[in-house]
Every structure is written in structure tokens, then in C-alpha cells.
Structure 1
Amino acid sequence: MTLLLVMAGGAVGAACRFLVDRAVTARTNGALPWGTLLVNVAGSLLLGLLAGAGSTLPGWLGQLVGTGFCGALTTYSTFSHETVRLADSGPGGRPRALLYVAVTLTLGLGAAALGWLITQPR
């Protein structure tokens, strides 16, 4: 059952990543890979929410949404590829690549922490 849950979540997450990236890329100037940044930050927030809720959630939800959906929605390989592509894009490429890494890590970690804090008891 775990495999089916992860596969189902992954199928939806991968489709969402593709659609979000296409929609964002069509509306931005391309200076940074905004679509990948958006899905990585959104996935980090969602995973932070799940982690913060912890044992209050049924285990199957973590498999479906955490491992499956978030695992397919977020993409470290594309983030790495786009960073290298930015660095090799000519004058100004390396500073843009460093900016992309800094923004992605800062917003991703911040979103995960925010998600975790939101679900903590007060």
C-alpha cells in the first residue's frame, strides 16, 4: 500500500511541478528559474506543515503527501542543473547563479520552518 500511495502522490506532484513551471516561465523574464524556485519553496512549506503536525496525522498521509507529492513537486536535480546553466550563461551569470542558490536556500528553509511553526501547539 505504501508504494501505491507514494506513486499516486508522486504522479500528482510531478504533474503540478510541470504545470507550475510552464505557467510561471511563460509570465517571467527568465533572469532566474522562477518556476523551480516556486515549487521548491511551496514544497518546503508543505513538508514543514506535515513535519510540524507529526504524529497527529495518519501515517498514510505522510506517505502520500510528504514522500510522494512533495518528493515529486520539489526538484533538487533541476535546481542544480539550472544553477550550472545560469553560471555558464555569460557575463553576470555567476552572480545570478549565486543569487539563485542563496534565494532558494533561504526561502526554502524559511518556508519549512514557517510550516513547522504554524502547526505547533500554542
Structure 2
Amino acid sequence: MNIIIELQLELIRNIHRPFNGAEAVKDLLACQDLWCGVMTYDTGFHGLIDMQAGEWSADTLFIMPVPGRETQLMAMAANWNPDGLQWAHSNSSNLLEGWNLDEMGFTRGILMLFWRGK
């Protein structure tokens, strides 16, 4: 694991709403054989307000699966009760424009989880 992933995990650990980030990080660390990258994302400036309280505000997680372990990763992530759980693929997502995930070995794409309520 590298410093960038460790920083992302620390941000995720400090998400308290709309999901339990500490629980997600605990699961991710226990099952590192299922994924090779993870990051959090928020579509607004909510984080600036929440930072004052020592929280990180994010409503979306992206997880890069280990090829061949996608089903197990999705089952684990479903336990975090997301409002949406889907595969974002370079053929169907503007977020991945310019990337050829198939050539990189990620045929299902990147697992995207999101929560609606903050």
C-alpha cells in the first residue's frame, strides 16, 4: 500500500455521514486482496464546512477491483448500504473518458458507490 492510498483511507475513515467510513476502511483493510485502489469524492464544497469539525464530507467512493475479484468486492461493499452500487466503465462513463480499462485488465470497470443523504 502506498501513501496516496493511505491518505484516501484516512479521509474515508473520517466520513461519518452519509455512511460509516470507519467501517468501510476496516473492511477494505481486512480484504486488501479484493482491491488495488480506492478514493472518495464529493460534488460540492460541503467538505469545507465539515473540516472545521474534523470530518470529511463525501458521498461517493470509487474502488478499483483486483481483476477476477469483482463479485467479492461488490458483496463486501453492499454491506455499507449505499443508495447506488454500480460498475463505471470507460465505455459508459464520462468520468473515465480517455481510459481503456479493458486494456488495463479491468473488464468490469471501477466500482462506484454513492449515498444520497448527507
**TM-score, with normalisation over the residues of structure 1?**
0.23
Question: Higher strand share goes to which structure?
Answer: 2
**TM-score, with normalisation over the residues of structure 2?**
0.24
Q: Which has the larger radius of gyration?
A: 1
Question: Higher helix share goes to which structure?
Answer: 1
